[in-house]
Amino acid sequence: MALVLTFVMIMSGCGGKNNANAPAEATNNASESGSTSSDTGDTSKEVNLKMIFVGPKPVDYDTVFAEINKKLKEKINATVESEFLDWSDWAQKYPLKLAANENFDLIYSANWTGYNDQALKGGFLEITDEMITKYMPQTKAAMSQVSWDQAKVNGKLYMIPQNRGESVEKLILYREDLRKKHNLPEINSPETYATYLKGIAQNEKGVSPFTPETGDWKFHNLDRVLLKQQTEWNMFDFDLPFAFKLTDEKGQVFNVYETQEFKDLLVYYKDLANNNAWSKNVLNSKNDHQADFKAGKSASITHNNGTLGSLMTLMKQENSPYEVALADINQGKKKSVAISTQNGTSIHATSKNAERSLMLIDLMQNDKELHDLMMYGLSGVHYEPVGDDKFKATEKNVNFTGFSNWNFNSPLNRDNEAFPQEVTDLINGWEANGEVYHYPLETFVFDNSKVKTQIANVGNVMLRYAIPLEYGVIEDIDKGIVDLNKQLDSAGIDAIQTEMQAQIDAFLAKK
């Protein structure tokens, strides 16, 4: 915890390094790469683009990217080299790279990697309509206006978003073979899930009942299942304790930590912690929850349905000895759909190759040959194409997966023919039952520029007081909640809430 707190204090001190002029300066630098505002994309000068991805470097990176670079050289006289921020520490390294003004051109960006915040800090280049028209004609034709609008921060664009929607609601992936072995009930509610976790802890030694995601936000994946979904709330930022009711047309925000629902959840978590549902070392764990589950070290994990479906597919492909299944413990509850900023690509504010970077993104989303290479690897090595829109994974498929190439999601995506039918049926069921819900604040973006200091202070308090409560480390829950909210008051939480509500009211007044 001391290390985490140190990191947060460092970030609060260096977050404002880029000044408001950064995008304009970057645009000037970008014009030096060989393209000017008066041409339609001069590629006479060869450039090497550097891109940062989230996730581990693929085993077969060199062979696949050699082929990618061969095609890029032919098409836009450019090559790309990549840096990968591993899942174990990406959350710490990502903002530091932008704060330090390191030399790179493109970076994976998303709402969950702090896109809005980084855009407001000046870390990303503003992308104008003129730039898109000149350097991204295929994307301009293919992308809907809704997607562009969702990616704007204060009316300006700092990301080329993905061009294929997805559901990102969290589900539970668990060991069905262990449930049967120990005669545990079907997992279809928070209560039956707790019974499963405690049953595994008591009867299956050497297997952790639940492993959280390393680097998770201050409101972790289980919170999203048991608090956000269960209560039909939503939150703008999982690093701030503000929520609103999905059906509230007025968009009134409230402090989650002051609600009875949060207190009830802490009682639920405390019971699980007391019954060894997760490691006693959970606050310091660096375990890869997906790798642990695949290896049989964990009996359940949480993530979105696409990620869990892909993990199930991989385990089946590798002839895993474990029988696994998905659980939706909030059946009938409203589910939200990801907005376009769930995955995207931003250009570093100081890039000297902005035009060529946009050309690269344009190709990756719309050129079938390059898209297939980036998303699936080498045909005949990592996958076998099945028609135009599906693929069959080979044994070497795992050598080119696990990193954030999702920023290039587009209508050209292929679906794995082995993707579990139960996942597809679950998503289709949400649609058919009217559980997928669109709400007025779906595209609201909070401008935190006036309350940056308070946000940094609140973040420190959440790390020190809220997270231990979340994992049942604090013995006296009532006292823990009082102490937490007292510290939040001192940190300036009211100022954040007042500013957020004012912006929400203004946003809704324009709709």
DSSP notation for 136-164: -HHHHHHS-HHHHHHTEETTEE--EE-SS
Q: What is the total count of domains within the chain?
A: 2
Average pLDDT over residues 74-99: 94
One domain, residues 344 and 260? no
Mean per-residue pLDDT for 222-233?
91
Across 20-29, 39-48, 332-341, 345-354, the highest mean pLDDT is recorded for: 345-354
Say whether both 307 and 417 belong to one domain: yes
Q: What is the pTM of this model?
A: 0.72
Strand 390-393 with 383-386, pairing: antiparallel
- Residue 413 has a pLDDT of 95
pLDDT over threshold 80, residue 271: yes
Residue 152 has pLDDT above 70, yes or no: yes
Residue 408 shares a structural domain with residue 433: no
The answer to whether position 463 is within a domain reads yes
206 and 143 both lie in a single domain = no
3-state DSSP assignment of residue 377: coil
Q: How far apart are CA 112 and CA 114, in angstroms?
A: 5
According to the model, what pLDDT value does residue 508 have?
93
Residue 376 is assigned to a structural domain of this protein = yes
Residue 298 · residue 508 · CB < 8 Å: no
Reading phi first (left if > 0) and then psi (alpha if -120 to 50, else beta), residue 362 is in alpha
pLDDT in tens, 291-304: 999 999 999 999 98
Q: Is the pLDDT of residue 470 over 60?
A: yes
pLDDT of residue 54: 97
Mean pLDDT calculated for residue range 240-245 = 94
Q: What is the CATH number of the domain that holds 100?
A: 3.40.190.10
Q: Do residue 296 and residue 440 come from a single domain?
A: yes
Q: Which pLDDT score is estimated for 51? A: 98
186 and 157, same domain (yes or no): no
Strand partners, 174: 300, 325
* Residue 9 placed within a domain: no
Domain endpoint, select from 412, 441, 473: 412
Does residue 507 share a domain with residue 378?
A: no
For the stretch 479-492, pLDDT in tens is 999 999 999 999 99
Per the CB < 8 A criterion, the answer to whether 99 and 118 are in contact is: no
Q: Write down the pLDDT at residue 40.
A: 55
Asked if residue 41 lies in contact with residue 355, where contact means CB atoms within 8 angstroms, the answer is yes
What's the whole-number mean pLDDT along residues 267-285? Answer: 92
User: Beta-strand (E) ranges in 86-190?
Assistant: 106-109, 152-153, 156-157, 160-161, 170-175
| Pairing assessment for the beta strands 47-54 and 106-109 based on DSSP bridges | parallel
Residues 359 and 429 in one domain: no
Same domain, 387 and 440: no
**Tokens of residue 172, six digits:** 């539970």
Mean pLDDT of 252-259: 97
The confidence score (pLDDT) of residue 215 equals: 65
pLDDT exceeds 80 at position 230:
yes
Calculate mean pLDDT across residues 324-353. 90
Average per-residue pLDDT in the chain? 88
- Structure tokens of 442? 């779906």
Q: How confident is the model at residue 13 (pLDDT cuts 50, 70, 90)?
A: very low
Instruction: Identify the residue whose tokens are 């004012």.
Output: 502
CB neighbours of 338 closer than 8 A, spacing ≥ 6? Answer: 165, 166, 167, 168
153 in the same domain as 290: no
Lowest mean pLDDT among 191-205, 223-237, 374-388: 223-237
**Which tens digits make up the pLDDT trace of 18-43?**
333 333 333 333 333 333 333 457 89
Within this chain, do residues 329 and 234 fall inside the same structural domain, yes or no? yes
Phi/psi of residue 267, each to 5°?
Answer: -65, -40
C-alpha–C-alpha distance, residues 497 and 463, integer Å: 19
Among all chains, which residue has been given the structure tokens 């294929």? Answer: 164
- Domain finish residue from 412, 428, 445: 412
Q: Given 412, 429, 451, which residue is the final one in a domain? A: 412
| Assigned domain for 6 exists | no
Chain segment 403-458, per-residue pLDDT in tens? 999 999 999 999 888 888 888 888 888 877 777 777 888 878 788 889 989 999 99
Residue 18 lies in a domain: no
Whether residues 304 and 174 fall in one domain: yes
Name the residue range of residue 113's domain: 25-165+340-412
Lowest mean pLDDT among 175-184, 221-230, 333-342: 333-342
